Amino acid sequence: MPALPPVPAPVTLPIHGSDRRFPVRRIFCVGRNYAEHSREMGGDPTREAPFFFTKPADALVTSESTIPYPPRTADLHHEAELVVAIATGGRDIPEDQAPAHIWGHAAGNDLTRRDLQAEAKAARRPWDMSKGFDNSAVIGALVEGPLADAPITCTVNGRLTQSARLSDMIWSVPEIIAHLSTYVDLRPGDLIFTGTPAGVGPIARGETCTVAIGDLPPATITIA
Ligand code: MN
């Protein structure tokens, strides 16, 4: 009989200004949470409740990594997003109690194989292979504590592609936590990508893509 595989190493995120690391449990993502992006993807921002998808925890890539161009796509896209780290879990968390469940925040990039996502939408198939592929969750160092409104931007080789404010979100972070915790029992270590503003677009081989949110450490990725 073949040997059992080794127990996988825990997935962790660096914490800004600390030697400690944040243990990652699951990665949830919100779809279409900025009105202009919802419209650019063919949605109606006035009618849609928040919806969720996931990425495997080990799809996580830390900032300043170089990753290969993902397979099975000719249209890799960036999506600049605020990432929220959950400290304490719960089910049916009321909106007014949601901030107390947050450990901290980070800048993130929800990398997307846009061509596979378009095929999945047309065929009414799941998004896993367009959203949850290897190296698809780029996240910068975590900063502990609450976060004020801030600008969120994405640049590709220094060219500005996305620019908005966190306050432009359709569903606020407390509303997202309240909604998501009606679907799943949130747990310590869960991460939530909170949606992207308008301006998503391709990243080519050899390009560097940086997501910046206020004073948070940026999330930068280079495609080999
Ligand atoms: Mn996204």
Asked if residue 1 belongs to a domain, the reply is no
- Per-chain mean pLDDT for the chain: 96
In whole angstroms, give the CA distance from residue 121 to residue 127: 8
The model's pLDDT over 46-105, given as tens digits with 9 standing for 90+, comes to: 767 899 999 999 999 999 999 999 999 999 999 999 999 999 999 999 999 999 999 999
Asked if residue 36 belongs to a domain, the reply is yes
CA of 145 to the centre of ligand 1 (A): 23
CA angle 135, 151, 50 (to 5 degrees): 65
The model's pLDDT over 108-137, given as tens digits with 9 standing for 90+, comes to: 999 999 999 999 999 999 999 999 999 999
Report the CATH number at residue 45.
3.90.850.10
Range(s) of the domain holding residue 58: 12-223
How many alpha carbons fall within 13 Å on the CB side of residue 31? Answer: 18
Asked if residue 27 belongs to a domain, the reply is yes
CA of 205 to the centre of ligand 1 (A): 21
Asked if residue 136 belongs to a domain, the reply is yes
Q: Select from 144, 152, 129 the least CA-distant residue to 218.
A: 152
Asked if residue 109 belongs to a domain, the reply is yes
Report the SS3 class of residue 97. Answer: helix
Asked if residue 39 belongs to a domain, the reply is yes
Asked if residue 137 belongs to a domain, the reply is yes
Asked if residue 18 belongs to a domain, the reply is yes
Q: Which residues surround ligand 1, an ion (CB under 5 A)?
A: 79, 110, 196
Q: How many domains does the chain have?
A: 1
Per-residue confidence (pLDDT) for residue 39, from 0 to 100:
86
Sign of the dihedral through C-alpha 190, 196, 202, 207: negative
CA of 193 to the centre of ligand 1 (A): 7
Q: Please enumerate in sequence order all residues whose Cβ is within 8 A of that of 123, keeping only pairs 6 or more positions apart, or say none.
A: none
